[in-house]
Amino acid sequence: AQSVTQPDIHITVSEGASLELRCNYSYGATPYLFWYVQSPGQGLQLLLKYFSGDTLVQGIKGFEAEFKRSQSSFNLRKPSVHWSDAAEYFCAVGGGGGNKLTFGTGTQLKVEL
């Protein structure tokens, strides 16, 4: 069975600082990996995805993520955080029958001005 772990429930960074959100997955085959962001009371917005190929993927809003098979990780990074990045971030693995997504528990990002 596939699973996703996001070890950090809350992270606080200063505006302009770099950011790394951790994600570890468990999946038998090559995983399909996603990062979504959710602002309060809103739906989920897809930031980026990894299916195959280059292990460093670029997404929207200046985010990137690196797939590391040896560490079963897909960490999300941003070199300089903006106050508007404050939100909940979900890592997810797909490929379950019916295009099911398995989500991590999420990381709440707070940005200090």
CB of 113 to other proteins, least distance (A): 24
Q: Are 110 and 12 in contact (CB under 8 A)?
A: yes
Rounded-to-10 torsion of CA 108, 37, 76, 8: 20
Using DSSP, state whether 83 is helix, strand or coil: helix
Q: Contact with other proteins (CB under 8 A): which of 3, 18, 26, 45?
A: 45
CB of 83 to other proteins, least distance (A): 21
Q: Contact with other proteins (CB under 8 A): which of 11, 13, 19, 44?
A: 44
Listed in sequence order, the residues at least 6 apart from 80 whose beta carbon sits closer than 8 Å to its beta carbon are 16, 17, 18, 62
CB of 80 to other proteins, least distance (A): 26
Q: Which is nearer to other proteins, 41 or 53 (CB)?
A: 41
Q: Contact with other proteins (CB under 8 A): which of 11, 19, 86, 101?
A: 101
